[in-house]
């Protein structure tokens, strides 16, 4: 009797472990459109109404807990923000002057044919209904899907700047992989220096991104703004993110003595742990762009 | 646990509820730089009250549902939570912890084992990004928060599963207590001057 119980217990463990390993192997072995990925999408579609309901029901509670935490850290943050606002005001005045000058310059060199961030995409607001509970997967689920025009690889922004990109879509919802996910990499540029690199995450610390592959000779300043570079090569290789979306600001620069590149630490503008509403940037049709250009010229 | 339809329904409903609440509500709450994770608590509670096989089954199903819901690598959470559920179930079968505060260390061990196991699996599945030391802080905060909410979570699981458990945990705890002192003629209460019948 005892032997039978022990055997049954061991068989059960072996079956569950074996099934888990089989699932893992199959999941990694198949393509993005394989059966397990399809089951995953179906499950997300089926669970999304429950998740949305639970998210709405639990919102007051999570807000209350968040508010308590916010109050504790608000005093110190307030002084910092006041200084930040003062600095931003000055920068805004300077930026508006610069913009006028830049527009005139674009007219001279014909750069105005290049489609910039504000006119090439149309933001679609969406609500965050679920998010990954571990630091290893930085993904969120939003309540807009292919029925609303959302497609895979479209960029997603949140309050402050770039949040991530759509990696999976079903009819009514979509999964967004944040730029803090281990698999994420975004081509970026430091303004106004113009140095370029690739923004990668540091797992476990959503307040610290790494801008890698920045040449050593580039001199960088703290608090310089980092934006998406939105490159487009002659071989039809194109960044998924339009140029000019703010990512964060430079917080620290590490330069190893023997390394060719500098590692720039970037503090993202987006608070990844407090995202409730995001916007998916859906490309405008050519007709809409032409219409916008017409309005702008009038 | 008595393996009948009611048991599957109760355990399955709890599993779904814990996973949905985790990904939709608890994950949105950020405290002290981390957040609670109630899925290991569910697995630990089932293992503590029902044993190793139900614990492993709960771990596998909760992990699978979690991976499907959040779009993670399917099988990774199942693998870790199956081991956690089985291990805690064996602990219950061998040591039979009956103290009313037993859920606290069990919850801490379950959360820590899940965090470390999941980190190990993630590393093995090639995480190419740098790993911050804050992962450790996140783990510690999650363990502390899980300990704080362990008692109500275990009580909820116990209440829902109680009708289908082979041994009632409360009854087990009562049996573990020593017999009350008896009086000179063998009746309880007579020999104790401070006690009145």
Count how many residues are written for chain A. 298
Output b/e per residue, A154-168; b: 16+ Cβ within 10 A.
bbbbbeebbbbbbbb
CA–CA separation, B13 and A295 (whole Å): 56
Return d(Cα A132, Cα B70) in angstroms, integer: 5
Burial of A24 (0-12, 13-18, 19+ CB in 10 A): buried
In sequence order, what E strands does B10-169 have? 130-131
Residue with tokens 């909820």: B156
Contact between A276 and A130 under an 8 Å Cβ cutoff? The reply is no
CA angle B73, B76, B78 (to 5 degrees): 125
Q: Per the CB < 8 Å rule, is A62 touching B25?
A: yes
Distance from C-alpha of A134 to C-alpha of B33, rounded to nearest angstrom: 13
- Beta-sheet pairing, A196-203 with B130-131: parallel
Residue B14 phi/psi, 5-degree rounding, is -65, -45
Q: How far apart are CA A18 and CA A40, in angstroms?
A: 20
Contact indicator for A138, A180 with CB cutoff of 8 Å = yes
In this structure, how many other beta carbons lie within 10 angstroms of the beta carbon of residue A49? Answer: 13
B71–A168: do the CB atoms touch at under 8 Å?
yes
- The bridge status of strand A161-169 relative to strand A196-203 is unpaired
Contact of B23 with chain A, judged by CB distance below 8 Å, is answered with yes
Out of A21, A54, A136, name the one closest to residue B21 (CB).
A54
More confident residue, B192 or A217: A217
Q: What is the ipTM of this complex?
A: 0.80
What pLDDT does B176 receive?
Answer: 63
Residues of B in contact with A274 (CB under 8 A): 30
Q: Are A265 and A208 in contact (CB under 8 A)?
A: yes
Cβ within 8 Å, pair A17-B52? no
Q: Which long-range contacts (CB under 8 A, 24 or more apart) does A29-38 make?
A: A36/B74
Confidence class for position B183, pLDDT limits 50, 70, 90: low
Mean of pLDDT values over B32-59: 92
Please list every residue in chain A whose beta carbon sits closer than 8 Å to the beta carbon of residue B24: 50-52, 54-55, 58, 129-130
Query: B94 — contact with chain A (CB < 8 Å)?
Result: no
**A28, A57, A133: residue with CB nearest B39:** A133
Task: Say if CB B88 and CB B105 are below 8 A apart.
Answer: no
For residues A266 and B130, give the distance between their C-alpha atoms in angstroms, rounded to a whole number.
Answer: 14
The B residues from 40 to 59 touching A (CB cutoff 8 Å) are 52-53, 56-57, 59
Q: Is A30 helix (H, G, I), strand (E, B) or coil?
A: coil
What is the per-residue pLDDT for A217?
A: 73
The residue of chain B with its CA nearest to that of A169 is B71
Q: Output the pTM of the full model.
A: 0.72
Rounded to the nearest 5 percent, the helix, strand and coil shares of chain B are 70, 5, 30
Cα–Cα distance between A146 and A169 in angstroms, integer? 6
All residues of chain B having their beta carbon less than 8 Å from the beta carbon of residue A66 are: 29-30
pLDDT in tens, B66-86: 999 988 889 999 999 999 999
Mean pLDDT of A146-160: 88
Residue B30 to residue A51, Cβ atoms within 8 A: no
What are the tens digits of pLDDT across the range A220-276? 788 888 888 877 666 666 778 888 888 898 988 876 666 677 888 999 988 887 777
Q: Report the mean per-residue pLDDT for chain B.
A: 85
In terms of pLDDT, which residue wins out, B22 or A101? B22
Where is average pLDDT lowest: A27-31, A180-184, A212-216? A212-216
CB A204 within 8 A of CB A135: yes
Cα–Cα distances (Å) from A274 to A128, A206, B13, B35, B157, in that order, read: 10, 11, 29, 12, 30
Residue A12, pLDDT above cutoff 50: yes
The pLDDT of residue B159 is: 92
The pLDDT value given to residue A134: 78
Write down the pLDDT at residue B189: 58
Domain B5-164 = CATH 1.10.1760.20? yes
- Residue A185 CB: number of other CB atoms within 10 A? 14
Kindly write down the DSSP assignment for every residue of A216-272, as one continuous string.
Answer: TT----TT-EEEE---B-TTS-B-SSPTT-EEEEEEEEE--SS-SEEEEEEEESS-G
Lowest mean pLDDT among A66-70, A108-112, B11-15, B191-195: A108-112
pLDDT, position A109: 44
CB contact under 8 A, A57 and B25: yes
Cβ contact B47:B92 at 8 Å = yes
Instruction: State whether A65 and B29 contact (CB < 8 Å).
Output: yes
Task: Enumerate residues 111 to 170 of chain B having a beta carbon within 8 A of any beta carbon in chain A.
Answer: 118-119, 122, 125, 127-135, 138
- Check: CB of residue B58 under 8 Å from CB of residue B85: yes
């Amino acid at each position: 009797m005892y032997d039978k119980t022990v055997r049954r217990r061991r068989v059960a463990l072996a079956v569950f472990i074996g099934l888990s390993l089989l699932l893992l192997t199959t999941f990694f072995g198949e393509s993005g459109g394989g059966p397990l990925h399809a089951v995953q999408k179906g499950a997300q579609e089926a669970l999304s109404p429950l998740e949305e309901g639970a998210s709405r029901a639990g919102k007051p509670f999570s807000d209350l807990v968040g508010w308590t935490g916010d109050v504790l850290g608000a005093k110190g943050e307030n002084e910092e923000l006041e200084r930040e606002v003062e600095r931003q005001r000055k920068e805004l005045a300077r930026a508006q002057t610069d913009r006028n000058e830049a527009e005139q310059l674009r007219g001279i060199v014909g750069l105005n044919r290049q489609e910039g961030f504000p006119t090439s995409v149309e933001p679609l607001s969406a609500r965050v209904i679920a998010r990954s509970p571990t630091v290893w997967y930085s993904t969120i689920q939003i309540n807009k899907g292919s029925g609303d025009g959302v497609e895979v690889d479209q960029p997603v922004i949140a309050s402050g700047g770039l949040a991530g990109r759509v990696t999976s879509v079903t009819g009514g919802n979509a999964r967004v992989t944040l730029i803090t996910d281990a698999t994420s990499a975004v081509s970026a540029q430091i303004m106004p220096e113009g140095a370029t690199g690739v923004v990668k995450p540091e797992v476990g610390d959503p307040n610290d991104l790494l801008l890698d592959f920045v040449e050593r000779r580039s001199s960088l300043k703290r608090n310089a703004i980092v934006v998406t570079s939105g490159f487009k090569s002659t071989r039809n290789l194109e960044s998924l993110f339009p140029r000019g979306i703010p990512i964060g600001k430079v917080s620290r620069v590490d330069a190893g003595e023997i390394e060719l590149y500098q590692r720039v630490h970037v503090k993202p503008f987006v608070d990844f742990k407090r995202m409730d509403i995001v916007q998916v940037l859906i490309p405008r049709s050519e007709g809409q762009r032409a219409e916008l250009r017409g309005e702008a010229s009038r | 646990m008595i393996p009948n339809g009611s048991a599957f329904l109760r355990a399955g409903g709890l599993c779904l509820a814990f996973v949905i609440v985790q990904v939709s509500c608890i994950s949105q709450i950020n405290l002290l730089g981390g957040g609670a994770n109630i899925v290991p608590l569910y697995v630990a509670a089932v293992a503590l009250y029902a044993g190793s096989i139900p614990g492993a089954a709960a771990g596998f199903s909760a992990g699978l549902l979690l991976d499907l819901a959040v779009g993670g690598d399917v099988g990774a959470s199942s693998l870790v939570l199956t081991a956690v559920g089985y291990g805690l179930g064996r602990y219950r079968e061998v040591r039979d912890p009956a103290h009313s505060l037993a859920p606290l260390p069990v919850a801490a061990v379950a959360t820590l084992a899940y965090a470390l196991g999941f980190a190990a699996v993630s590393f093995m599945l090639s995480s190419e990004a740098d790993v911050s030391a804050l992962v450790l802080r996140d783990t510690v905060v999650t363990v502390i928060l899980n300990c704080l909410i362990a008692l109500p979570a275990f009580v909820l699981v116990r209440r829902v599963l109680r009708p289908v458990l082979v041994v009632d945990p409360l009854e087990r705890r009562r049996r573990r207590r020593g017999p009350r002192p008896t009086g000179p003629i063998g009746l309880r209460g007579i020999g104790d001057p401070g006690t009145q019948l």
